[in-house]
Chains A and B, each alone.
Chain A
Amino acid sequence: MTPLAKPSTRIGKALKAAADKSAYLADDKKAEIRVCAGTACHASGRLALRKALDKALAERGLTDTVTVVETGCHGFCEEGPIVVVRPQGLFYPRLKPKDIAEIIETSVVGDGIVERLLYKDPASGEPLAHEKDIPFYALQDRIVLALNGKIDPYSVDDYLNHGGYTALAKVLEEGDPMGVIDEVEASGLRGRGGAGFPTGRKWRFCRGNPGDVHYVICNADEGDPGAFMDRSVLEGNPHSVIEGMTIAAYAIGAGSGPVEGYVYVRHEYPFAVERLRAALAQARERGLLGENILGSGFSFDIRINQGAGAFVCGESTALTASIEGHRGMPRGKHIRTVAQGLWGQPTNLNNVESYANVPWIVNHGAQAFAAKGTETSKGTKIFSLTGKVVNGGLIEVPMGATLRHVIFDIGGGMLPGREFKAVQLGGPSGGCLPASLLDDPIDFESLVAAGSMMGSGGMVVVDDSTCMVDFVKFFLKFTAEESCGKCVPCRVGSQRLLEIIERICDGLGTLDDLERLETLSEDIIEGSLCQLGGSAPNPVLSTLRYFREEIEAHIVEHRCPARVCRPLIKYTIDPDACTGCHVCFGACPTQAISGERKEAHVIDQKLCIKCDTCRQVCKFDAIPVVDAQPALAEGRQQ
């Protein structure tokens, strides 16, 4: 816990008074059970686990002595649902309700460890009991995620007890808004939403622009598929975002005019909305938000605005249009939102993660923040590592860490028997990087140079079972669908790009198509109004740059090397491996599989719709996918 700046002063007193002494506080020394209540753990059975836990505690009469805390995301989503038993700090992943009784007997009542249920180190197979021993956690450097999984997101007291709102108190105490901006600018914090614009400079511009009211907006419209950092921060530690926004509001608006706040959050994140709403209510109740914050005379309040499933609304001008109740279409940026944003007033828009970094910078100083990271990209960055890696989840590392470090050291490498093929960064606006770039540092500049971008921090790892052309098709389909339709290059261009890629996937592409892809991509980048169109061709260009051979295999050899593109593959049954167990027989939706029990089955190619069900249910790997190339080549000759 960080001590207050000047505990004897008026604001310090107000902050102390804001904490409720009688409230339950999560503490490292008390007996308690922390259950992860993030979205992923929820999906893997958190509710049933909680029920079993309550029942087991009640049976033993421990309900009063042992507290169950539902925390935010622990980050290790692959291993959910996660339970941590305090004070020993025992980490139990992948629990089933039936395991609970044993854990309570051994680790809560007694002082032992249920070795059977511990996390096993994938390399050595050794069971690891504590979070700090697990490489996934040990190799991270957590600033924003530091309190995630440690505090109850529904309790402002928990946050206060862990040093929360001290940064706000310090800022209000000093009463120097320009000093705050200087500090944030000196720290080198850059926008975590993707573009990497220096946050301090943005605040300065916004403050410098006159207006009736200044708006401070938090962009939590995390539309990139495969990214969930913002959701986890809002779910696990909503007060850090509120504190960061309030500090920003003070820096921008104090002494110059009224400031109002908005959080624009995706409707797809119901837990995040619920927890943020509860946190806002609590902060208002304790005088940490609203009129006359902590007795300082500064007033600021935050409203929640829910999105409705439009990717383009992550763009600043589209986002403000959406809050105003219009179709979320971007406008030209000849006048920036810091000058004329929401309702035509100067508006400061930052990402969730950017705001969550601010309290840490104020508390620890700009130098400490700038000491982490690289020359141009300071601090840490959260990545959501997903795809075909062993340890998927949230990872916070200093900028400049290499891709290899993140994917192989922290992420535990590829799934057994699979080979690394590419990592996709930055969502639909980013690009796919091949194995040869694994030793590149992750920072804003080097990613752009490599043809990708930081984006909001989604990192999807793919192995040799993913077809790069099909992968690009997925992103183009996404951007073509999400294009708002305002300007032609994006609306029509992305559709045409998609058609060309689809043609290649079907084995009907020509080598001219590659050139066409390149020129069309350049035109779209040049001509689009906003960054959705301006970055939509990135997946195409990066794939052309690093995986050209794979695209050419589709065109020249009518072959899909990863065996994904349907017209180029067929499903067969290996008669030697097939045991005739009949499982695929029942699973096939079109009755394309025939054969007697205990004899090798066959697939009727006319009826097979290549839905992959049989291959997935087969326990003997008896259904290989092979090239359908000869048949197709013949068809083309006719």
Chain B
Amino acid sequence: MPRRNGTTATEPKGSALYEVLKGIDFERRELVHKPRGVGLFDLVKDKGGAYKCYACTLCERTCPVDCIEIDYCPEFEELPFDVEAERAAALATLPGESCGANAACVMGEQPAGFMPEIDMKLFDAVIAGIRGGSGLVQALHSTQEAYGFLPRVALENIAEEMRLPFSRVYGVATFYGQFRLAPVGKYIIDVCMGTACHVAGAPLVVEAFSQELEVPVGATTPDGLFTLQTVNCVGACALAPVVRLGEDETIGRVGPNEARKLVRKLRKAEVPA
């Protein structure tokens, strides 16, 4: 199987194609890592040699430069998916100067291009709170209440107002699980991962949401509608597995199928057919 850059990385020696190609002198390329690169990517194999990847397409959706392509080809029994993320850094000259190896596919980074406007008027309440003697954690809470997340400019203003170094404010904001540094969607889906919910099958529910929304946990859909999160325990264990929609609505006894239906229902309400 020839790669797009002309090498035959996945073709075993001795095959018919190899015989044809071995005589051709391909241009040799140096492997150059991009400045932000974190190295070469490969898919994990189990001991039997089979790929662990089951083509959930999450990495394909997440990659900010579209350098991963997942393509089902039934004729390839051994390697059904043509996954170009393999040696992605080496393939940096592929269509459209693709992978910058910023590892969004493996680290689940926010898809780029979704940033609402920051209205600094909303920030006055936070400043008033700080002057009223509220602590840093409370100030961050009220900022998040106002914007739905913690914009950098707000953190800078908090630091200035409280006469703290920015690093300290940032450090606190990143320590606590409830604070978000990226904007959130209109619907925030919190899947409870408490013990009772786990026993009742919460991991399957998270996975169903993730597949249906096509984003990993912690990310927002590119249309800005949904944010998928997990929460440690909402304390409604008798109704496990529990999903919280926004701040107010708690839905009990959610299975994978209900999860998918919920997303479809909300989507339908947003985009009238």
Interface residues of A (CB under 8 A from B): 39-40, 42-44, 77-78, 80, 222-228, 231-232, 267-270, 305-311, 322-328, 384, 386-388, 392-393, 424, 427, 458, 460, 462, 466, 471, 474-475, 478, 482, 484, 506, 508, 567, 587, 589, 606, 609, 611-613, 616-617, 632, 634-636, 638
Contact = CB atoms under 8 A, between A and B. Distances in A.
B252 A267 contact: no
B154 interface: no
Interface stretch (B6-14, B48-56, B91-99, B111-119): B48-56
Given A39-B250, A43-B251, A268 B198 contact: no
B239 A40 contact: yes
Interface string B149-183: 00000000000000000000001100111110000
Given A42-B250, A225-B194, A310-B176, A324 B135 contact: yes
Contacts of B223: none
Contacts of A612: 201, 204, 256
B49 A460 contact: no
Interface stretch (B15-23, B33-41, B62-70, B228-236): B228-236
B124 interface: no
A225 B233 contact: yes
B127 interface: no
A174 B261 CA distance: 63
Contact of A635 (B50, B197, B240, B247): B50
A309 B176 contact: yes
Contacts of B178: 267-268, 307-309
Contacts of A327: 171-172, 175
Nearest to B136: A325
Given A611-B208, A613-B208, A80 B231 contact: no
A386 B238 contact: yes
Contact of B236 (A43, A270, A482): A43
Contacts of B194: 225-226
B85 interface: no
Contacts of B49: 635, 638
Given A77-B239, A269-B235, A478-B232, 9 more contacts: A42-B250, A43-B251, A227-B233, A228-B233, A308-B137, A327-B172, A587-B257, A634-B48, A638-B48
B31 interface: no
B257 to A, nearest CB: 5
B260 interface: yes
B199 interface: yes
A617 B233 CA distance: 26
B146 interface: no
> Top 4 nearest A-B pairs by Cβ distance?
A635-B48, A325-B136, A77-B238, A225-B194
A43 B250 contact: yes
B247 A270 contact: yes
Interface in B176-232: 176-179, 193-201, 204, 207-208, 211-212, 231-232
A40 B194 CA distance: 14
Contact of B255 (A223, A309, A458, A616): A616
B193 A386 contact: no
A357 B231 CA distance: 30
Nearest to B197: A225
Contacts of A231: 235
Contacts of B48: 632, 634-636, 638
Nearest to B72: A607
Contacts of B88: none
B141 interface: yes
B30 interface: no
A462 B260 CA distance: 26
8 contacts: A225-B195, A225-B232, A268-B231, A270-B247, A323-B135, A474-B198, A587-B260, A616-B255
A322 B137 contact: yes
A417 B204 CA distance: 23
Nearest to A45: B252
B235 A39 contact: yes
B204 A611 contact: yes
Contact of A309 (B177, B207, B212): B177
Contact of B233 (A224, A611, A635): A224
A325 B172 contact: yes
Nearest to A270: B247
A384 B256 CA distance: 26
Contact of B176 (A80, A308, A589, A606): A308
Interface residues of B, number: 54
B141 A471 contact: no
A101 B83 CA distance: 61
A589 B255 CA distance: 13
Contacts of A484: 175
Nearest to A308: B176
Contacts of A224: 233
Contacts of B239: 40, 43-44, 77, 80
B135 A228 contact: no
Nearest to A306: B141
Contact of B199 (A307, A466, A508, A587): A466
A373 B209 CA distance: 46
A508 B175 contact: no
B182 to A, nearest CB: 16
Contacts of A39: 234-236, 250
B75 interface: no
A557 B56 CA distance: 29
Given A40-B239, A306-B137, A424 B195 contact: yes
Contacts of A232: 235
Given A226-B194, A305-B138, A387-B196, A508 B46 contact: yes
Contact of B242 (A43, A308, A311, A611): A43
Name which of B193, B233, B256 has the most chain A CB atoms within 10 A of its CB: B233
Contacts of B137: 305-308, 322-323, 325
Contacts of B46: 506, 508, 567, 635
B4 interface: no
Interface in B131-149: 135-138, 140-141
B113 to A, nearest CB: 27
A636 B47 contact: yes
Contacts of A638: 48-49
A486 to B, nearest CB: 11
Name which of A268, A269, A310, A617 has the most chain B CB atoms within 10 A of its CB: A268
B213 to A, nearest CB: 12
B237 interface: yes
Nearest to B238: A77
B80 interface: yes
A526 to B, nearest CB: 26
Nearest to A327: B175
Name which of B50, B178, B236 has the most chain A CB atoms within 10 A of its CB: B236
A501 to B, nearest CB: 14
Contact of A328 (B47, B175, B195): B175
A506 B45 CA distance: 12
Contacts of B138: 305-306
Nearest to A638: B48
Contacts of B171: 327
Contact of A392 (B80, B212, B238, B256): B238
A460 B199 contact: yes
Nearest to B133: A303
A194 to B, nearest CB: 15
